Each structure stands twice: as structure tokens, then as C-alpha cells.
Amino acid sequence: MNLKRKRYHNLLIIFTIFLTYNLIFRINNNDVVIDNIHRNWKRDTTPTTTFPTPATTPFTPITTSSIPTTTLSTTPSTSTTTPSTPTITPITTPLKIELTFDQSVPNWFFEIDFGTPPQPLNIPISFTSNLLWVVSEFCMSLLGDACNVRTANLYNTSQSDTAFGDYEEFTFSFMGVELIAVWVNDTASVAGDVQIQTFYQLPIGLPKDTNRSGTNASIPDSTIGTIGINPYQNNQIVGIALSTDTDPEGDMDGGTLTFGGVDTDYIIGEDESNIIYYPFLPFTETDQTVRLSFSNVYFDGVAQNYSGTVSFNGDIKNIQFGNFFADFIVNVFLPGGVFYPNGSATIDCNISTTLNLSFEFNNQTNHTWRLPASAIVDEVISGNECSSTITGGANDSNSWVFGSTFFENFYMVFDQVNSQLGIAARSDIDYGPNSSQVNVMVQIPILINRIQCLIITEYDPTGQEQGSQVFSVDNVDSNDYYYLGDDYFAQEGFFYSIRFFTGTSSDDHSTCQEYGAVCTPNLSANLLEDPWIIGLQDFSETVRLDPNTGNFLGCIEQILAFNSSLFTNLTANPCVIL
């Protein structure tokens, strides 16, 4: 009896070894297709997981029972570099997917149910590929070496009744390592905002081996896979609104990803016409990266006359310029800015919300995109020193990369069918105070009699008076500056003249009493600072007096009267230009 059992045990071992050898031999015998996945958005290149093209007929879900049960084919294929075209249910209405954000990674995720019965996995999105791949039993010993053996956080094809495939091989890059993978087709479902979209016979990439020497697994145990949202498969429009905010329940609100359309909830005015589209720059045989023409950068509305090209990559965080240009921006415009040779930079943590750094694409001067001041500040280093999201590090001094800092503050639309990229201002983002107006602070002249009242008069760009406002001068600071308050603004393109009086304001606050002491010329509003600071140097000249008699002898260009002994009718003509 024991001899029989031993023979049976030996036969079982031999059969297992034979079966495993044949399966591995068939998989490893396939042709290898090399495909380099680059860092930036690109046009379609293999490998690609193809999603369905929108149809005009209403979507009718197909029940699981109508899908025949199949098993994985063990016949190897060497025919093509991409999976055979499956019959799959099309997306007929925009598929809006709620994203979650994981700060520890950091990355954005959404859930996909793989196989029948469903195996739910939370898959991170990738901006650098057009491939859906997941960890499976294929990357574990004895079938492969790309990952360690795990019992959770994987897609197990052997437990799906609808998985099938011919094991076509391809390669892709992950974390700088080339992986050999195989194609498998299976059912996958995604829960959208208003519908559950099921894809039948969806091509899925399964990593298998590491294409390098060594025994260490290339895929970390914490990694499940990725879904590439570039270039969005069958030329579909895809809208992206990334967020790292926390919702009222304390969960991370990652924004939305919309296949086949846009999510107007994130666009100002909920109006799709507010999306501004820019054409892709021409592609070359060797470079299929999606780029836009970058025509200028503005600081507080003033063009700095720097131009180049920009690609977009949400897999990195920073906005990467060439080191020379980044050094210029950081040291000249960002408070506390220090630029380092390795391309990194530090800035003050408490940057004012009034700071206005804006970008222009494709010479469309009527549309500039202002980056919120808070988005420029990254992690605290110590005290008031923070790292900056404006950095160097771009490989080319005139070809720059905009990372997730840009994505998180604008609505982005990838429209491959029309070879264009759309950008829109978002309704949930505070871009800072209106850059076309600023508050006002004025330095009070020191005269024989104290200034107690002032009248500021506004003139439009043509010189027409638009009205005056009276202020009682109180709460003057230690440098003799008076702030006109949060409710008074100077507007871009307008001019302002201020008259100072020694008397108080009238009871109805419509004018100032007693004598006009000093007045300014018409000053153009300065939007480079908020508040606009008007100092004595902006409206005064040296006054010349006779040293023997003290008589007023005039001034070089402009000014004025100090008291009634100088002019007999100051109330009628309080300002005299000499």
C-alpha cells in the first residue's frame, strides 16, 4: 500500500514539472516587441490597451450570463505586436470617474473590477503611457520573476471564467526597468458617476519577467499596476480635473477623469466654451511627445519675453524650466527665492496671494493662465523656508515640462482626434485677487499743519474724470503712510490725483475743509504691487525758499502750497503747477 502511494506521489511530481515546463516554454517562446514609454504625453504607440469608440446608439449593458465561459489558451502567438481587436461594448455617453488621491504615494486612483466573478483593484493612473497593466500570477515564480509572490492585491486570471489570451509578448518600461509582459483579454467594469461601464474582452497587460540580470523583483509589493490615460485610446476626448483636497467627510477628493467628454462641474460658469484649445506642435518620426508652443511668462501682468516649448506630465509634481530661466524666476520674482545648481529652489512659505505668475501659450495674449501663489509653495523645510514647485531640471533649456502642479489648478482636455490640448480655469480654484486692480497706500506730507483729510480723484485712460472720494486721515503708520482701506481700488489703465488738506472732512463726508496743502499730479496705477504704495518721491520736488525772508521761490516742476500766506485763494485753486 505504501509502495503504491509513493509511486502515485512520484507520478504527480513528474506531471507537475512537465506541465509547468510546457507552459513556461510556450510563453517564453514568443517574439518580444520593444516599446519605449516616455515621460510625456505621446500619440498612440504600442503597446496600447484599446478602449471602445463612442457609438450613437444607446448603451445596453450585457449581462454576465450572456458571456461564454472561456479559459486561457495555452497556444502561443507570434503574429502581431498588439492584441487582436476584440468585440467590446462602446462608451456611448461620457464616462465620468471619481478619483481618489493617496498622499503617501502620491498618486490618483480609481477602482476597476477585473474578471468574472469581479476582482476589484484600485489602479493608479499614469500620464506617461497608454497601457493598462496589472500584477498577476504571471510575474511570480514559477511563471516569472518581475514580482514577489503575493496572495492579495493582484489579478488572478485562473479565477476568472472570462479570461483568455494567446500570450503575445511585449515590453514596457517601469521605474527605469524593462519588463517583459503578455497580453490577456478579460471583462473589466468601471463605476462611473451615472453608469457602470463594462468592457468585454478588454486587453490587459500582465508583467512576467524582468529583462535584466539579477534576481530582485522589479515591481514593489505595494504596486498593483497602472492605467495609462495617454493618449486616451481611440482618439477620444478625455477631461482631467485633479485635486488633492479633503471632502467634508475627511476623505481625499481626487477630482474626476472623464472618458469621452468633459466634466463642466469644474469649469468656471459650467460652460464648455470656456475651454481654450491649443494645437499640438508637429510630431517627428523620433519624437511623438505632445508639446505646445510656450510664448511668454508674465509676472504681475508684465511680460518677461521668454519662450520655448512645453510638454505635460502629471507623473511629476514640479514645473521644470531650464536652469537659467528657473534661476531668473526664483531669484527675481519669488520672495525669499534661492536657486541651487541641481535645479531645486527654496522660497518663503508665506507668499502673498497677490503674487501673479502667469503663462501664455501659442501667442494667445488674450488668454494667460495664472498659477495660484499657494501652488508655488511646496513642503516646509524649516521656519519660513519652503521648497518651490518652480524648479530647473528640464533636459533642454527651451523645452520645459509642466507637472501635476499645473494639472491640479486647471481643467485639462486631451483631444487627440483634433490634435489639440484644452485648458480652462477651474471653478474650485482661487487664483488670487483680481490682477486688474489694487488697493492704495499713500505717504502723508509732513507740513507745518497736520494733514487731516484727502480727496482722491480717478481719471479713465482718456483723461476723463470718473469721480472723487474723501478720506479722513487717521491711523497713519510709523512711516507716515495711510491705507485707503480694503474697499478702495485703483484700476489698471486709470490715473489718480490726490489732494491733501489741513482741515477735517465735512459732516456729510463730501469734501475736505480749510486749506488745500499739497496735491499730486495724475499718477498711473501701479499693478506690480498690492497695495500700490504712493510715496513722497512720487509727487514732491525740492521747495526753494529765500533764506533771508523765507519767501517761497517755487519748485522745479510742480508743487504747491504749504499755507495761506503763500497764495491768497488756495480754496479755489489748491494746486499750482509752476
Report the C-alpha gap between 263 and 413 in whole angstroms: 10
- In terms of domains, do 441 and 409 share one? no
Asked whether residue 384 is assigned to any structural domain, the reply reads yes
Report the C-alpha gap between 295 and 303 in whole angstroms: 10
Asked whether residue 71 is assigned to any structural domain, the reply reads no
Number of H helices, E strands in the chain: 4, 38
pLDDT, residue 48, reads 56
pLDDT digits (tens, 9 = 90+) for 401-430: 999 999 999 999 988 778 899 999 999 999
| C-alpha separations of 192 from 150, 153, 317 in Å | 29, 22, 27
User: Is the whole model's pTM more than 0.85, yes or no?
Assistant: no
Look up the domain containing 531 and give its range. Answer: 437-539
Last residue of a domain, one of 425, 448, 476: 425
Report the C-alpha gap between 14 and 55 in whole angstroms: 52
Q: Is the Cβ–Cβ distance between 97 and 110 less than 8 Å?
A: yes
Percentage helix, strand, coil, to 5, in the chain? 10, 35, 50
Q: Is the Cβ–Cβ distance between 525 and 492 less than 8 Å?
A: yes
Computed over every residue of the chain, the mean pLDDT equals 77
Asked whether residue 510 is assigned to any structural domain, the reply reads yes
Question: In sequence order, what are the residues at sequence separation of 6 or more whose Cβ sits closer than 8 angstroms to the Cβ of residue 61?
Answer: 89, 196, 198
Judge whether residue 330 has pLDDT over 80: yes
Query: Bridge partners of 198?
Result: 189
- In terms of domains, do 451 and 348 share one? no
pLDDT digits (tens, 9 = 90+) for 52-108: 433 322 222 222 233 333 333 333 333 334 444 444 455 667 889 999 998 888 889
CATH of the domain at 206: 2.40.70.10
Report the C-alpha gap between 55 and 285 in whole angstroms: 32
Report the C-alpha gap between 41 and 553 in whole angstroms: 71
Count of C-beta atoms within a 10 Å radius of residue 104? 6
pLDDT digits (tens, 9 = 90+) for 137-156: 999 988 899 999 999 999 99
| C-alpha separations of 499 from 40, 391, 474, 507 in Å | 58, 46, 16, 18
Asked whether residue 270 is assigned to any structural domain, the reply reads no
Strands 319-320 and 390-391: parallel
- In terms of domains, do 403 and 463 share one? no
pLDDT, residue 360, reads 95
- In terms of domains, do 127 and 155 share one? yes
- In terms of domains, do 123 and 160 share one? yes
- In terms of domains, do 414 and 487 share one? no
Asked whether residue 246 is assigned to any structural domain, the reply reads no
Q: Is the Cβ–Cβ distance between 488 and 452 less than 8 Å?
A: no
- In terms of domains, do 357 and 477 share one? no
Question: What is the domain count for the chain?
Answer: 3
